[in-house]
Homo-oligomer: A and B are copies of this chain.
């Protein structure tokens, strides 16, 4: 009888421990799903990456930008492969949109706009890690000003809701330019 009771206590205690552990894991997963994780570091070597495309944002942003990809992202783009594989990073550099007096003189007419100084939203990246960034579609978002300082978290919360508009392209707006 004593032995059986001891055994029962051990079993109950073990089950309780498992349950407790499961509860902790579940709670942690729920917390992660609720709170997006923003990336705070600039990927090494991004300025050497290959070109995905280029764009101009008029209005308040008033920038001209190059969208680049690391080798994993570029390969996926070129293969037309979706979703992007783990480790893919798509980034963009935004410079001020500046009329070039020098070019306009050379052309003999006002037509030329070039990249000026880094903007307040100079660098932005999305990093594919399906587990780590599960809360935001498998992509971790980052943004940095001209001094490399991360954009504040309140502003970062607008990344994912907007990128959700292109869920069918794995949350990536920019298409590969030929």
Which A residues contact B (CB, under 8 angstroms)?
47-51, 53-61, 64-66, 68, 93, 95, 97, 100, 102-103, 105-106, 109-115, 117-118, 162, 165-166, 173-175, 177-178
Given A50-B48, A106-B162, answer yes or no on A55-B113 (Cβ-Cβ < 8 Å). yes
A56–B64 touching, CB < 8 Å: yes
A55 and B109 CA atoms in complex are apart in Å by 16
**B54 contacts A177, C-beta separation under 8 Å:** no
- A118:B178 contact, CB within 8 angstroms: yes
- The count of identical subunits is 2
Q: Is there contact, CB below 8 Å, between B177 and A57?
A: no
A173–B112 alpha-carbon span in the complex (Å): 12
Q: Is the CB of B113 within 8 A of A58?
A: yes
**Cross-chain contact A51 with B64 (CB below 8 angstroms):** no
B residues near A115, Cβ cutoff 8 Å: 53-55, 177
Q: Decide: B162 and A95 in contact? CB cutoff 8 A.
A: no
Taking CB atoms, residues of chain B closer than 8 Å to A53 are: 95, 114-115
Question: Within the complex, what minimum Cβ distance (angstroms) separates A23 from chain B?
Answer: 39
Closest chain-B Cβ to A164's Cβ sits at a distance in Å of 10
Q: Which residues of B contact A64 (CB under 8 A)?
A: 54-56, 64
A66-B60 Cα distance, complex, nearest whole Å: 23
